Amino acid sequence: MVGEEKETILWEVFIQPKNGLSHRHCGSIHAPDREMAMLSARNVYSRRGEGQSIWVVRSIDIVSSDPDEKEETFSSDDKIYRHPTFYDVPDDVGHM
C-alpha cells in the first residue's frame, strides 16, 4: 500500500512582514527543490498577506549552538561593565 518512498528535504521558512522589519522564522516545509520549497512556503505560511518576502533555507544547513552549553556560550554575568547601570553619573545630569 505505502511503497518505500524517499523523505523529501526539510526547509525552514522565514517571512518578512514588511519593509523595516527583519525576516522571522515561522516554521518548516518539505519540498524536493528550492522552487517547490518557495511555492509551498508561500501557500502554507502566507495565505493572508502575512509577508512581502520569504526566505527558505535547508534545515541541515543551519548551524546551531549546543543547548547543553547555554551557560558557557551566553553567560555574561561576570561582565556587568557592559551595561549602562555599572557607571555612576550624578542624577542632575539628566537622562544619559
Nearest CA-CA partner of 44 in 3, 80, 17, 15: 15
Q: Are 68 and 35 in contact (CB under 8 A)?
A: no
Nearer to another protein, 26 or 57 (CB): 26
- Spell out, one character per residue from 53 to 72, where the chain touches another protein: x when CB under 8 A holds, - when not: -----------x-xxx----
What CA–CA distance (Å, rounded) separates 40 from 27?
12
DSSP 3-state of 80: helix
Does residue 93 interact with another protein by CB under 8 A?
A: no
Does residue 73 interact with another protein by CB under 8 A?
A: no
Q: Which of 16, 17, 28, 57 binds another protein (CB under 8 A)?
A: 28
Nearest CA-CA partner of 53 in 28, 25, 17, 29: 17
Q: Which of 3, 20, 49, 94 binds another protein (CB under 8 A)?
A: 3
What is the binding site for another protein (CB under 8 A)?
1-3, 5-8, 10, 26-30, 32-33, 36, 43-45, 47-48, 64, 66-68
